Protein backbone atom coordinates (compact mmCIF):
# COMPACT_ATOMS: atom_id res chain seq x y z
CA UNK A 1 0.00 0.00 0.00
CA UNK A 2 1.40 3.36 -1.08
CA UNK A 3 0.16 6.44 0.75
CA UNK A 4 0.83 9.85 -0.79
CA UNK A 5 -1.00 13.15 -0.39
CA UNK A 6 -0.47 14.29 -3.97
CA UNK A 7 0.41 13.48 -7.53
CA UNK A 8 3.94 14.22 -8.66
CA UNK A 9 2.66 15.31 -12.08
CA UNK A 10 -0.10 17.58 -10.82
CA UNK A 11 1.70 20.38 -9.10
CA UNK A 12 4.30 19.26 -6.60
CA UNK A 13 6.86 17.53 -8.80
CA UNK A 14 9.05 20.62 -8.93
CA UNK A 15 8.98 20.94 -5.14
CA UNK A 16 9.92 17.28 -4.63
CA UNK A 17 12.66 17.50 -7.28
CA UNK A 18 13.94 20.67 -5.65
CA UNK A 19 14.26 18.88 -2.32
CA UNK A 20 15.97 15.86 -3.82
CA UNK A 21 18.34 17.39 -6.36
CA UNK A 22 18.94 20.98 -5.20
CA UNK A 23 18.52 20.79 -1.40
CA UNK A 24 15.67 23.31 -1.62
CA UNK A 25 14.13 22.36 1.71
CA UNK A 26 11.69 25.25 2.23
CA UNK A 27 8.68 23.16 1.14
CA UNK A 28 9.66 20.02 3.09
CA UNK A 29 7.64 20.74 6.25
CA UNK A 30 4.54 21.71 4.25
CA UNK A 31 4.71 18.54 2.13
CA UNK A 32 5.28 16.34 5.18
CA UNK A 33 2.30 18.01 6.89
CA UNK A 34 0.14 17.11 3.88
CA UNK A 35 1.33 13.51 4.20
CA UNK A 36 0.57 13.52 7.95
CA UNK A 37 -2.95 14.76 7.25
CA UNK A 38 -3.48 12.03 4.64
CA UNK A 39 -2.24 9.36 7.05
CA UNK A 40 -4.51 10.64 9.85
CA UNK A 41 -7.47 10.72 7.47
CA UNK A 42 -6.92 7.10 6.42
CA UNK A 43 -6.51 6.10 10.07
CA UNK A 44 -9.77 7.85 11.06
CA UNK A 45 -11.57 6.03 8.26
CA UNK A 46 -10.21 2.71 9.57
CA UNK A 47 -8.32 2.03 6.35
CA UNK A 48 -4.89 1.81 7.95
CA UNK A 49 -3.31 1.13 11.33
CA UNK A 50 -0.32 3.25 12.20
CA UNK A 51 2.98 1.40 11.98
CA UNK A 52 5.07 0.65 15.03
CA UNK A 53 8.20 2.13 13.44
CA UNK A 54 9.40 3.73 10.23
CA UNK A 55 12.44 3.32 8.02
CA UNK A 56 13.74 5.70 5.35
CA UNK A 57 14.79 4.29 1.98
CA UNK A 58 18.57 4.38 2.32
CA UNK A 59 21.10 5.84 -0.07
CA UNK A 60 24.37 4.10 -0.81
CA UNK A 61 27.23 5.84 1.09
CA UNK A 62 28.70 7.08 -2.20
CA UNK A 63 25.41 8.74 -3.22
CA UNK A 64 25.00 10.15 0.27
CA UNK A 65 28.45 11.76 0.03
CA UNK A 66 27.63 13.20 -3.40
CA UNK A 67 24.23 14.60 -2.41
CA UNK A 68 25.14 15.51 1.16
CA UNK A 69 21.82 14.30 2.60
CA UNK A 70 19.16 11.63 2.21
CA UNK A 71 15.83 13.26 1.40
CA UNK A 72 13.91 10.16 2.53
CA UNK A 73 15.68 10.34 5.91
CA UNK A 74 14.72 14.03 6.27
CA UNK A 75 11.09 13.16 5.53
CA UNK A 76 11.13 10.21 7.95
CA UNK A 77 12.75 12.27 10.70
CA UNK A 78 10.05 14.94 10.40
CA UNK A 79 7.28 12.31 10.28
CA UNK A 80 8.73 10.53 13.30
CA UNK A 81 8.63 13.71 15.36
CA UNK A 82 5.15 14.74 14.20
CA UNK A 83 3.52 11.32 14.67
CA UNK A 84 5.54 10.05 17.64
CA UNK A 85 6.57 6.91 15.75
CA UNK A 86 10.18 5.77 16.22
CA UNK A 87 12.49 5.79 13.23
CA UNK A 88 14.78 2.80 12.82
CA UNK A 89 18.10 3.91 11.41
CA UNK A 90 20.74 1.71 9.80
CA UNK A 91 18.68 -1.53 9.86
CA UNK A 92 18.08 -1.27 6.11
CA UNK A 93 21.19 -0.70 4.01
CA UNK A 94 21.71 -0.13 0.31
CA UNK A 95 24.74 -2.31 -0.27
CA UNK A 96 24.97 -1.82 -4.04
CA UNK A 97 25.80 1.59 -5.49
CA UNK A 98 23.05 1.47 -8.11
CA UNK A 99 22.55 3.84 -11.01
CA UNK A 100 19.85 6.48 -10.45
CA UNK A 101 16.44 5.01 -11.31
CA UNK A 102 15.26 8.12 -13.21
CA UNK A 103 15.15 7.45 -16.92
CA UNK A 104 15.38 3.66 -16.66
CA UNK A 105 12.72 1.29 -18.01
CA UNK A 106 10.90 -1.03 -15.63
CA UNK A 107 13.10 -3.95 -16.62
CA UNK A 108 16.27 -1.86 -16.17
CA UNK A 109 15.03 -0.65 -12.77
CA UNK A 110 14.45 -4.22 -11.56
CA UNK A 111 17.88 -5.34 -12.77
CA UNK A 112 19.48 -2.22 -11.27
CA UNK A 113 18.04 -2.99 -7.81
CA UNK A 114 18.61 -6.75 -7.73
CA UNK A 115 20.03 -7.57 -4.27
CA UNK A 116 20.71 -3.87 -3.64
CA UNK A 117 19.23 -3.84 -0.11
CA UNK A 118 19.82 -5.90 3.02
CA UNK A 119 18.52 -5.92 6.58
CA UNK A 120 21.41 -5.65 9.02
CA UNK A 121 19.56 -6.88 12.10
CA UNK A 122 16.25 -8.47 13.10
CA UNK A 123 13.26 -6.14 13.32
CA UNK A 124 10.95 -6.81 16.24
CA UNK A 125 7.88 -5.10 14.80
CA UNK A 126 4.97 -6.38 12.72
CA UNK A 127 4.10 -3.05 11.04
CA UNK A 128 6.65 -0.76 9.40
CA UNK A 129 6.27 2.35 7.24
CA UNK A 130 8.88 2.71 4.53
CA UNK A 131 9.48 6.38 3.76
CA UNK A 132 10.53 7.80 0.39
CA UNK A 133 10.15 11.08 -1.46
CA UNK A 134 8.34 9.82 -4.54
CA UNK A 135 7.14 6.44 -5.80
CA UNK A 136 7.15 6.05 -9.57
CA UNK A 137 7.16 2.47 -10.86
CA UNK A 138 7.35 1.02 -7.35
CA UNK A 139 10.49 -0.95 -8.16
CA UNK A 140 12.49 0.37 -5.20
CA UNK A 141 9.74 -0.23 -2.67
CA UNK A 142 8.94 -3.65 -4.15
CA UNK A 143 12.58 -4.68 -3.79
CA UNK A 144 12.55 -3.60 -0.14
CA UNK A 145 9.07 -5.04 0.53
CA UNK A 146 10.34 -8.50 -0.41
CA UNK A 147 12.90 -8.30 2.41
CA UNK A 148 10.22 -7.44 4.95
CA UNK A 149 7.75 -10.02 3.63
CA UNK A 150 10.34 -12.73 4.23
CA UNK A 151 10.18 -11.75 7.93
CA UNK A 152 6.36 -11.51 7.99
CA UNK A 153 6.43 -7.73 8.46
CA UNK A 154 3.54 -5.72 7.03
CA UNK A 155 4.85 -2.75 5.07
CA UNK A 156 3.14 0.52 4.27
CA UNK A 157 4.90 2.93 1.91
CA UNK A 158 4.60 6.63 2.71
CA UNK A 159 5.84 9.23 0.26
CA UNK A 160 5.35 12.89 -0.59
CA UNK A 161 4.08 12.15 -4.09
CA UNK A 162 3.06 9.35 -6.37
CA UNK A 163 4.16 9.60 -10.01
CA UNK A 164 1.49 7.96 -12.14
CA UNK A 165 2.36 5.95 -15.19
CA UNK A 166 2.37 7.88 -18.48
CA UNK A 167 -1.14 8.17 -19.90
CA UNK A 168 -2.90 7.38 -16.60
CA UNK A 169 -3.89 10.99 -16.00
CA UNK A 170 -5.21 11.58 -19.53
What are the residue boundaries of the structural domains of the chain, listed by start?
2-162
Q: Count CB neighbours of 46 within 10 A.
A: 7
Choose among 98, 16, 22: nearest CA to 58: 98
pLDDT digits (tens, 9 = 90+) for 63-118: 889 888 999 999 999 999 999 999 998 899 888 776 665 655 556 666 666 677 88
CATH of domain 2-162: 3.40.50
Query: What is the pLDDT at residue 1?
Result: 84
pLDDT digits (tens, 9 = 90+) for 141-167: 888 999 999 989 999 999 999 887 554
3-class state of residue 34 by DSSP: helix
d(Cα 76, Cα 34) in Å, to the nearest integer? Answer: 14
Q: Can you spell out the DSSP letters for 32-68?
A: HHHHHHHHHHHHHTTS----SEEEEPPPPHHHHHHHS
Amino acid sequence: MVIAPASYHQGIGELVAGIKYRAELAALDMLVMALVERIKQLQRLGLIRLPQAMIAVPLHPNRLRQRGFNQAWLIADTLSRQLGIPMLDKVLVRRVDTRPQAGLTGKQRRRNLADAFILTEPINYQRIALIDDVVTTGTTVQSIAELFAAHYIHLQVWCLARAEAPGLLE
